[in-house]
Amino acid sequence: MKYFTLDQLVSINGDGENPARYAVIGNPVAHSLSPQLHQPALDALSAKARYIRVEVEPGQVSTAFDKMYAAGIRGINVTVPHKLEALESCHTVNPAAKIMGAVNTIVFDSNGLRTGFNTDGPGFTRAIREDFGVDLGDLKVIIIGAGGGAGRAIATQCIAENCSQLILANRTIEKLAPIKKELTTMAHRDALEGPRDRIEIIALDDPDLEEAIAASELIVNTTSVGLKSIDPSPFPSHWVEPHHLVYDTIYNPAKTRLLRDSEIQGARTANGLSLLLHQGALSFEYWLNRDAPLEAMRNGIKNATKD
């Protein structure tokens, strides 16, 4: 079964298989890789539990959470387009997730009350450590596509980690002013000394973008440019220099034009598989209150993404 609908949930846990305890909601949801990540992890711990996909219509997220809890589900991942509606449908929201404007992980307490988290940001910190062997907080960062959901989550994480420089770049510059304002408030509130007055915003077509990239150590692509194999790089990739670390949140295709060109320029590169892995591992940790079996999850993703 590729996915269930809400109406099918009622009878889901009497079918003789392991009970469905965890799920991802989205629309469409059939192509979500979350089950390939989480089921091997549950199996590795011999948990008698299934991880399923549930297709939910926009406007139905709160109802879905209620019905899923009633059906026996105890942890939920949220994917597009429901991350904002999920935030609005929680009883409690983690403060960082509030600033990110998106919730991708739901944890239930013993009364069924739900708390929303966003593991994309903290997952990114782990991904950078794994791929490049450095701490995100030690880097000068530029985010290409900071107006989108992933870009905003990563930008928030950069502030939480106290990066010494954060440049937000986006095709639509108007989206960036409110994000900068929110992040600046967060930096002041948390009395962070690093990036507070060093959050800059820039349009993708601004002639100063080349200089902004040159001044950065970590370049992160969070635009959707690269999802199609014929896509160009989201900015002129000959601007990449050997000192750069280049992270593309896209993992399919495994090597976007940006990553291929960056390698030719002599830069170190990584794709979004490590973010997929670590955001999932963090959800798993929230639900089961224990370390996630990373190798099982890694193998699961490898199997799901191999051609």
Chain residues in the site for ligand ATR (CB under 6 A): 80, 145, 147-151, 170-172, 175, 204, 223-225, 234
Dihedral of alpha carbons 284, 285, 288, 290, sign:
positive
Structure tokens at 46: 């011999």
Instruction: Write down the least CB distance from residue 21 to ligand ATR, Å.
Output: 27
Q: Which is nearer to ligand ATR, 18 or 224 (CB)?
A: 224
Q: Between 75 and 149, whose beta carbon lies closer to ligand ATR?
A: 149
Min dist CB 225 to ligand ATR, Å, is 5
Single-letter amino acid code for the residue at 136:
L
Which residue's CB is nearer to ligand ATR, number 102 or number 245? 102
Contact 127, 247 (CB under 8 A): yes
Phi/psi for 108 (5° steps) reads -100, 145
User: In this complex, which beta carbon is closest to ligand ATR, that of residue 73 or of residue 97?
Assistant: 97
Classify residue 87 by its DSSP letter.
H
Residue 3: phi and psi, rounded to 5, are: -160, 160
Beta bridge partners of 52: 23
- Token code pair at residue 231: 């896509």
H or E element: which one contains 77?
Answer: strand 75-78
Question: What positions carry a catalytic annotation?
Answer: 83
Which structure tokens are listed for 18? Answer: 């392991």
Residue written as tokens 């950069």?
158
Cα–Cα distance measured from residue 232 to residue 226, given in angstroms and rounded to the nearest whole number: 7
Find out whether 220 and 245 touch, Cβ atoms under 8 Å: no
Distance, in Å, from the CA atom of 246 to the CA atom of 145, rounded to the nearest integer, reads: 14
Q: Which residue is nearest to ligand ATR (CB)?
A: 148
Beta pairing, strands 105-108 & 75-78: antiparallel
Q: How many Å apart are CA 22 and CA 32, to the nearest integer?
A: 14
| C-beta closer to ligand ATR: residue 149 or 293 | 149
Return the number of the residue (116 or 147) whose C-beta is nearest ligand ATR.
147
Task: Give the shortest CB-78-to-ligand ATR separation in angstroms.
Answer: 12
CA distance 169 to 110: 42
Least CB distance to ligand ATR at residue 182 (A): 16
